[in-house]
Structure 1
Amino acid sequence: MIITNVNLVLENEVVKGSLELRDGKIASMSDTPSQVSGAYDGENGLLMPGFIELHTDNLEHYFTPRPKVDWPPFSAMSAHDTQLVGSGITTVLDAVALGDFSDEKRKTDLDLFINTVVESQRRNLTRIDHRLHLRCEVPHASTLELFERFVDYPQVQLVSLMDHAPGQRQFVDVEKYRIYYQGKHNLSDSEMAAYESKQVALSQTYSEKHRNEICRQCHQRGISTASHDDATIEHVLESKQLGMTIAEFPTTVEAAKKSHELGLKVLMGAPNVVRGGSHSGNVAAHELASLGVLDILSSDYYPISLLEGVYKLAEDERNSLTLPQAVHLVTKNPAEVLKLNDRGLISEGKRADLVLARMVDGHPLVDRVWRQGKKVF
C-alpha cells in the first residue's frame, strides 16, 4: 500500500511526501505526493514510527478495574491492547511486579497475568507486539525465586531492579513515604511505623544479594537490565558496575547526568512531561531534556502521555530538541537499547510500524496506526 500527503518524521528531518509499504516493511519513500490511484491520503498529518513502550503497569488496571472485581483475562488484555494501539504504541513491554506482594492480589494474579500476555501473543489475539518487563523488588525473600521462574520466557525483554524502602531512592523524604503508603494500605500510625521498620530490615537483608545475582543471570542471557530511582552518584556507579543499560526514573539531576555520562539511557515518565513535573516531588523530565540527558520516555501509568509528551518537548523552548529528536525518545532510542534493530525509524527495510497523528484543537490525536503494514487502528 501507499501512504501519501504526510509529513514523514525521519531520523534527522521532517519531509513532506509519501511512503510505500510491502510485505510488512517500508519499501520506499518519496519527497513528492504519490499519483497512484487508491493511495491512502494522510491529509497532511504527521507520520512517525510506531511507539515503543518499555514500562507500563496499565494491564493491572484492566485485570482489577475496581477493588474485589476480577475481569476475564483475555477481555482485560483486549481492552489494554486497544488503549495502547489507540495511543500510537506498536511494541510494549508489559511490566510485572515480582516480590512486592503487600497487595495480595498482585501475588495471586502473577501467573495469570504473565500467561495471558504469553498466550495472547502465541494465538495472535492482540493488535500490537506485547513482551514482558520483570520489575524485581529486590528487598523481598521471594524475588529471586520468582525471577528464576519467569526469566527464560522468550517474551522477557527487560528486567529492572528496584528498592522502595524508606529513606533512600524515590523516598529520600520519609514523610512522603508515610503519606503514600499509609494512605495506600490504610494503616494507623503505629502500624505504619512497624511497616517502615520491616521494609528497612528487608532491604538490608536481601537488596544487595538479589541485585547482584539477578544482574549476573540477565547478562548470561543477554537480557537488558535497568536501575530504578537512582538518586546519588554512588547509586549510578553501582548500576554501571553491574552492567545496567537503562536508568529508570532517576530522582535527581546529578544521578541523571552521571547515568547519561556513563552510557546508561535515562528513562523518564511522559506523565512527568505532560504534568510539568514529578508527582512525588523528584526531578522534572523537562529539566533533564534541557540539560541534554533525557533519552527515553515511558508512559508508565497513562499510555496517551507518550504522544503528548513528544509534542510538548518538541515545542518547549527550554530545550533544543527538534521534533525528530523528541520522537526518538519513544521510537529509535528504546529500540536500540533493546536491540530491536528492525523497528524504531522510518527507513527502507524497517518494519512498517507507523503512527499517523494530527493536531485537533491544540491537542495531538492518533488518527491511524499500522503494524507491519496492516492497519490496526
Structure 2
Amino acid sequence: MTMPYPALRFTGASILRDGEMQSRSIAIADGRITRGPLPEVDLSGYLVLPGIIDLHGDAFERHIAPRPSAPFPPLVGLRGADRDAAANGVTTAYLAQSWSWEGGKRSPDYALRMMQALRDYAPRALTDLRLQIRCETHTVDTADRLLAAIRAHGIDYVVFNNHLDEAEMLQQARPEALFAWAKDAGRTPEEHLAVVKAAQKQKAQVPRYLCRLAEGFDTLGVTYGSHDDPDGETRETYSMIGAKICEFPTSRAAAALAHAVGDPVLMGAPNVVRGGSQSGNIAAEDLIRAGLCDALVSDYYYPALHLAAFHLVDTGVMTLPQAWAMISDTPARILRMPDRGRLDPGRRADLTVIHAQSRAIEMTISGGRITHLAGEAAHRLAGCAPALTALAAE
C-alpha cells in the first residue's frame, strides 16, 4: 500500500531558509514544498531543516550481514538500512557498493545482485535509496559488464579506488589480516593471493581502462570521482580524466589539490564527531577549518551526520546553516539534484525535524511522506488528526 502525501503547514518552528534560521511556517502538499492554507501542526521548539543527503554510506552492509558469518537476504538488509536512514533524518542515501577483484560482497556478481535487489525494493522504500559503485582500478576485464550494469540500472555515481596497495602491504606486514580478508571473500589464502597477483599484472592496462570508463560515464551522465586519494598527484590524475569528486582524501595535500582545481572534497561525519579518523588518516575537522572540505557523508554511521553538524556549531567552526549545508544543499549540488537540498517552494518536500533542546530527530519527511515520527512531534501531529481526516473526506 502506498503511503499518502500529507498536506500540512508547520508553524512555530525555526526554519532554515535562504541561508539563515527564520521564524516562519512551511507547507507541504503532493510531495512538494508549497504555499497556502492547510491543516496546521504547531512545531514550536523545533528546528525544520532540509532533508539530509548522504553521498556515501556502507552501514547497509551491517544490516545485510550483522555478523560476517550470519548474512541475510539483500532485501531484508535494505529494509533495515532504509529505516535506519529515515530515523536519522536522511531523505536521500547513496549505498556504497564495491565492484572489485576482492570477491565476496565486494565482487561484481554481488554488486549486480544488489542492483537488482534495490530495484525490487525501491517501490516500498521510505528513503530515496541509490547505489554508488566503488570501482576498483584493477578490474580491467569488467569494463563492458560494468558499463552495461550502470546503463541498465540507472547508476549515476561511481568512485574509483585502489585496495591493491593495501593487499600488498598486508601480504608483507600482516599476513593474518590478509587471510581474514580471504575468508570474508570465501577463498583460501592461496586463492586470494593468486587473485591479488593477477590484479597486480593489470597495472599497465589500468590508465587506459579508467579513461574508457570515464568516457562511458560522460556519455551516460554519471558523476564520478575517487576514494582515498593519498596525495596531490593521485588527485590530479583522477581530476584530469573527469573524476572530479575527491572522496575521503587521506592527506591534506590531496584535499588541497582538489580545492585548487575546484573538485569537491567529501569527508566522513564520524571522523568529525569522534575527533579524528578511525583508520589514522587526516582529521576531517582540520580540513573543514582550513576550507578544504565541502560535504560530509555518513561513511559507516548514519547518526553521525546531524551530530557532526551540531559539533561544528558547538565548537564555533560554523553557523548551523553553514554546517547543515554540508549535509544537504552542497551534496545536492555536487550530485546535480536541483529538486532538493533547500526548503524552497516547488522543491521536493524533504524535511528533517529536530527538537531544538534535545537535538533528537523526531520527524523525517522524504518526498512528502512521513518516514520517521517519534517523541513529542508524534503527539503534536496526532493532535491535528481531525483536521487531516476532514481534509481527506473532502
TM range, normalised to the smaller chain? 0.7 to 0.9
Say whether the 8 Å CA contact 1:165–1:196 is kept in structure 2.
no
Over residues 301-352 of structure 1, what are the superposed CA-to-partner deviations in whole Å (9 max), with x where a residue is unaligned? 11111111111122223x3x22111111111111111111010001122111
From the superposition, tell whether residues 291 and 352 of structure 1 become closer, same or farther in structure 2 (CA, over 3 Å).
same
Query: What is residue 255 of structure 1 aligned with on the other side?
Result: 254
Query: What is residue 198 of structure 1 aligned with on the other side?
Result: 197
Matching of residue 23 in structure 1 with residue 18 in structure 2: no
Correspondence list, 1:64-79, <5 A: 64-79=65-80
Deviation at 1:27? 1.4
Over residues 211-248 of structure 1, what are the superposed CA-to-partner deviations in whole Å (9 max), with x where a residue is unaligned? 22211110111110011111222112212211123100
Over residues 5-50 of structure 1, what are the superposed CA-to-partner deviations in whole Å (9 max), with x where a residue is unaligned? 1111223211122111122211149xxxxxx784112232111111
SS across alignment from 2:13? strand
Correspondence list, 1:186-265, <5 A: 198=197, 201-202=200-201, 204-265=203-264
Structure 2 gaps of 5+ residues are 1-7, 373-394
Query: What is residue 331 of structure 2 aligned with on the other side?
Result: 334
- Work out the CA distance in 2 between the residues paired with 1:173 and 1:324: 43
Correspondence list, 1:1-377, <5 A: 1-28=8-35, 38-103=39-104, 106=107, 109-121=110-122, 124-166=123-165, 181=178, 184-185=181-182, 198=197, 201-202=200-201, 204-317=203-316, 319=317, 321-358=318-355, 364-377=359-372
- Work out the CA distance in 2 between the residues paired with 1:264 and 1:343: 21
From the superposition, tell whether residues 289 and 172 of structure 1 become closer, same or farther in structure 2 (CA, over 3 Å).
farther
- Work out the CA distance in 2 between the residues paired with 1:106 and 1:234: 28
SS across alignment from 1:352? coil
User: TM-score, normalised on structure 2?
Assistant: 0.83
- Work out the CA distance in 1 between the residues paired with 2:367 and 2:292: 32
User: Which one has the bigger helix percentage?
Assistant: 2
From the superposition, tell whether residues 74 and 194 of structure 1 become closer, same or farther in structure 2 (CA, over 3 Å).
closer
> Which piece of structure 1 moves more, 159-168 or 110-119?
159-168
SS across alignment from 1:349? coil
Over residues 72-118 of structure 1, what are the superposed CA-to-partner deviations in whole Å (9 max), with x where a residue is unaligned? 33322211110010111111122221123343675553332111111
User: TM-score, normalised on structure 1?
Assistant: 0.86
* One-letter amino acid of the counterpart of residue 367, structure 2: Q
Over residues 47-85 of structure 1, what are the superposed CA-to-partner deviations in whole Å (9 max), with x where a residue is unaligned? 111111111122222222223333233322211110010
Deviation at 1:3? 0.7
- Work out the CA distance in 1 between the residues paired with 2:38 and 2:364: 21
- Work out the CA distance in 2 between the residues paired with 1:159 and 1:105: 14
Alpha-carbon RMSD across the aligned residues, in angstroms, is: 3.0
SS across alignment from 2:229? coil
Say whether the 8 Å CA contact 2:228–2:250 is kept in structure 1.
yes
From the superposition, tell whether residues 41 and 153 of structure 1 become closer, same or farther in structure 2 (CA, over 3 Å).
farther
Deviation at 1:290? 0.3
> Which piece of structure 1 moves more, 231-240 or 221-230?
231-240
- Work out the CA distance in 1 between the residues paired with 2:294 and 2:355: 24
From the superposition, tell whether residues 18 and 178 of structure 1 become closer, same or farther in structure 2 (CA, over 3 Å).
farther
Please identify runs of 4+ aligned residues in structure 1 that moved more than 6 A.
171-179, 190-193
Say whether the 8 Å CA contact 1:138–1:206 is kept in structure 2.
no
- Work out the CA distance in 2 between the residues paired with 1:175 and 1:4: 62
From the superposition, tell whether residues 305 and 180 of structure 1 become closer, same or farther in structure 2 (CA, over 3 Å).
farther
